[in-house]
A and B are shown apart, each in its own frame.
Chain A
């Protein structure tokens, strides 16, 4: 299988390889790229900035320790890092036995948005537009698919728990997740990188 096929992924795979060999500067560059999106995901998963920062630290320590095991044939570097972070967050959530019954969908609540230390300079106009278009596209997707995908991505629920939450069989939930993610892919196919 070929290595990652876009420039960012190639660079990040190299950074991971260097970090795996003990290159601290490569690790810092990786942190500069992934810190904000991973912390944003952690905040979304655990709903608390303080805990999210702790979990981000845990995840980056794991990334450092396991960087040498990253295999570019299996996934993109960012997907791998997301997996490390999600597992860290999910372990934490399950330890504290927190099982949310609902997960906010597209728009974050004003209260949550207020708590987030959003750096406006970080959000370039292009990214905002991208986000708005994404939200618009997602809003137009069937609510069931949207909800199943968001629960799969932004909660620690198992498939069985999502099925219970949505009052559907597990097979239907998996099908909705598939349709939701395929729809997302189609939406982004028309977006500039």
Chain B
């Protein structure tokens, strides 16, 4: 085996590959018995290294504490509603608000070859005030349920939030203003939207997220963003299924709409993040 593959296996076992590298490695594993055997041996070595540490016994009561937290989570877990629905999943440190400059939007899509029909993909769209960049993230398998898809999406979304450098799409760090990314599973029609540094919502307005099929021009509303005074956050959303969508022709944008107006199937307000003119 060549040293490059050995290195990938080592870094994979140590959880030191970025998301695309890790997905690529996992996709290779089923077809390469030698690599699989090496990976298992490395995992065993890692396990024994950890078991060779001075062992610290958890104190009595720790398990009860964990189970108590699990019980509270189960009791308070909101049911995920039918689309379009939002759930604020997590909020981390609030970044300072910087005015968004919506200028002329230059679309620079990083579009990869279309996915094969049987290969599951996630769509990642990086958004800032100037660019919209799309990439497809191949997944080794199709989640068995919407919940499994949710967990996978949440894990990736959180990782990208914590480590933007792991994202398969890169935004220009020099670009001023709001930025964010959408992570979307076309199979389950759910995803996460992360925003940073959006301007505070004006009085009487609210932000809406829209999903755009750039091939057909079809727009789908993903709901009102529950920003609640914050300019940053990571939110779950789901949308109504659409037939015939092209996963390499998806885009997202956020508009500022009148809060008092009834929900509309079409955006009317100004775009505050992303682009709809594709």
Interface contact B45-A188, CB-CB below 8 Å: yes
Q: How many angstroms from the CA of A117 to the CA of B62 in the assembled complex?
A: 14
In the assembled complex, how far is the CB of residue A145 from the closest CB belonging to chain B, in whole angstroms? 11
Of the residues B43, B67, B152, contact of A75 by C-beta under 8 Å = B43
Q: How many angstroms from the CA of A82 to the CA of B51 in the assembled complex?
A: 11
Chain A residues 49-80 with CB under 8 Å of chain B are 49, 52-53, 56-57, 60-61, 64-66, 68-69, 71, 73-76, 78-79
Interface contact B14-A130, CB-CB below 8 Å: no
Q: How many angstroms from the CA of A75 to the CA of B40 in the assembled complex?
A: 8
Q: Given A28-B63, A57-B65, A178-B7, A65–B26 Cβ distance below 8 Å?
A: no
Secondary structure of the A side of the interface?
Answer: helix
Interface contact A68-B6, CB-CB below 8 Å: no
Interface contact B50-A182, CB-CB below 8 Å: no
- How many residues belonging to B are interface residues under a CB distance threshold of 8 Å? 52
Identify which of A68, A71, A74, A83 gathers the most chain B CB atoms within 10 Å of its CB. A74
Q: Given A5-B40, A68-B147, A87-B15, A182–B30 Cβ distance below 8 Å?
A: no
Q: Given A1-B29, A57-B65, A71-B141, A122–B44 Cβ distance below 8 Å?
A: no
Q: How many angstroms from the CA of A189 to the CA of B70 in the assembled complex?
A: 39
Q: How many angstroms from the CA of A79 to the CA of B42 in the assembled complex?
A: 10
Asked whether any CB of chain A lies closer than 8 Å to the CB of B103, the reply is: no
Interface contact A181-B45, CB-CB below 8 Å: yes
- How many residues belonging to A are interface residues under a CB distance threshold of 8 Å? 67
B145 and chain A: residue at smallest CB distance = A68
Q: Given A76-B43, A175-B7, A83–B56 Cβ distance below 8 Å?
A: no
Q: How many angstroms from the CA of A65 to the CA of B154 in the assembled complex?
A: 12
Interface contact A178-B10, CB-CB below 8 Å: yes
16 contacts between A and B (CB under 8 A): A28-B63, A36-B57, A40-B50, A68-B147, A69-B152, A74-B140, A82-B15, A117-B57, A118-B54, A152-B16, A153-B14, A178-B7, A182-B42, A184-B46, A188-B44, A188-B48
List B residues at the A interface (Cβ < 8 Å).
3, 6-7, 10-11, 13-16, 26, 29-30, 36, 39-59, 62-63, 65-67, 69-70, 73, 140-141, 143, 147-148, 151-152, 155, 159, 162
What 13 new A-B contacts, CB under 8 Å, besides A6-B44, A57-B62, A185-B44?
A41-B53, A64-B66, A65-B70, A68-B147, A69-B148, A73-B26, A76-B44, A79-B13, A82-B46, A122-B55, A122-B57, A175-B7, A188-B48
List A residues at the B interface (Cβ < 8 Å).
1, 5-6, 24, 28, 31, 35-37, 39-41, 43-44, 49, 52-53, 56-57, 60-61, 64-66, 68-69, 71, 73-76, 78-79, 82-83, 86-87, 91, 94, 108, 113, 116-119, 122-123, 127, 130-131, 134-135, 152-153, 159, 174-175, 177-178, 181-182, 184-185, 187-189, 191
